[in-house]
Amino acid sequence: MSQSELQQLVAMLRSTGPDLTAPPAKLRADFTVMVGAAPLASDLIFEPVRLGGVSALACTAPGAREDCCLLYLHGGAFVIGSAQDYRSVFAELGRAAGVKVVAPDYRLAPEHPFPAAVDDALASYRALLERHAPASIVLAGDSAGGGLVTSLLVAARDAGLPLPAGALLLSPWVDLACQGRSMTTKAAADPSITRPGLLANAALYLGRKPADTPLASPLHADLAGLPPMLLQVGTAEILLDDALRLATRAAEANVEVRLSVWPDMPHVWHFFGFMLEEGRRAVAEAGDFLRARLGP
């Protein structure tokens, strides 16, 4: 690891990262400005599409398989973010996995509180099943999107739908009550997110629902029967314990789960592969997992 690259990233996040306690309009604008600095490779092809009635953005990198698809659910605490904002992350994951990616713009809170995001994710997955065999679909998501992927799997299972080949969760947020120990023990180390900020956005998303509602906080869901999962998390983020606890719950439910913990990495460091070697390596690890799940 290059300490200078990491120090530069941490300093940037501390100085320019959005304040999660700000009003949604300002938070969204600040976040779009920050992520707009991430460069995009010139060989990527983006296309707006509709998926189960939900607007989405598709991306194809050179050599992508046509018979498989990655459904990506972006992060943003259920209040901010868009497929456009997260292009640099899901595009490179698709390249690493060798598949086309489609990222739905699920509805955001507070305009559309829970379960709108779950409903849109499930509608998008149903639409993919009309075009692809379940064994040729993989899911991925970061932060709130990682939690949403887990909720989608539970909702799809409960609806009797065939499940995808696997799921990739990047720094997942799966406990909207924010009760993990790392919320406190990693607070000083985390340069980008805070417990008060997460709780503020959780309140906007949950409305009147309790924080332990299983499809909102899938840490409390029955995980039995879910497909193999890879969880990637850094030790410099307050969501460390969300990933640790979810991996334990999945293992207890007899789910094949792999937990990959990256020392000193901040929240969703994959976003910063353009300046951080560990970001590129984590994307490569994720791509290997997705390729293995999809098979030849």
Q: Is the bond preceding 218 in cis, omega lying within 30 degrees of 0? A: no
Active site residue 267: yes
Render pLDDT for 200-250 as a digit per residue (tens, 0 to 9). 999 999 999 999 999 999 999 999 999 999 999 999 999 999 999 999 999
Give residue 88's pLDDT: 94
Active site residue 285: no
Residues 6 or more apart in contact with residue 111 via CB below 8 angstroms: none
* 3-294 CATH, one of 3.40.50.1820, 3.40.50.150, 3.90.1150.10, 3.30.70.141: 3.40.50.1820
Averaged pLDDT of the chain: 95
How many angstroms separate the Cα of 118 from the Cα of each of 16, 181, 231, 263, 268?
30, 27, 20, 32, 21
Catalytic-labelled residue, pool 267, 270, 278, 285: 267
DSSP annotation of 227: P
Active site residue 260: no
Render pLDDT for 137-175 as a digit per residue (tens, 0 to 9). 999 999 999 999 999 999 999 999 999 999 999 999 999
Per DSSP, helices labelled H in 103-169 are 116-129, 144-158
With CA atoms as reference, report the closest residue to 23 among 78, 76, 79. Answer: 79
Catalytic-labelled residue, pool 88, 192, 217, 237: 237
> What integer is the mean pLDDT of 16-23?
85
10 Å CB burial of residue 88 (0-12, 13-18, 19+) is buried
Give residue 4's pLDDT: 85
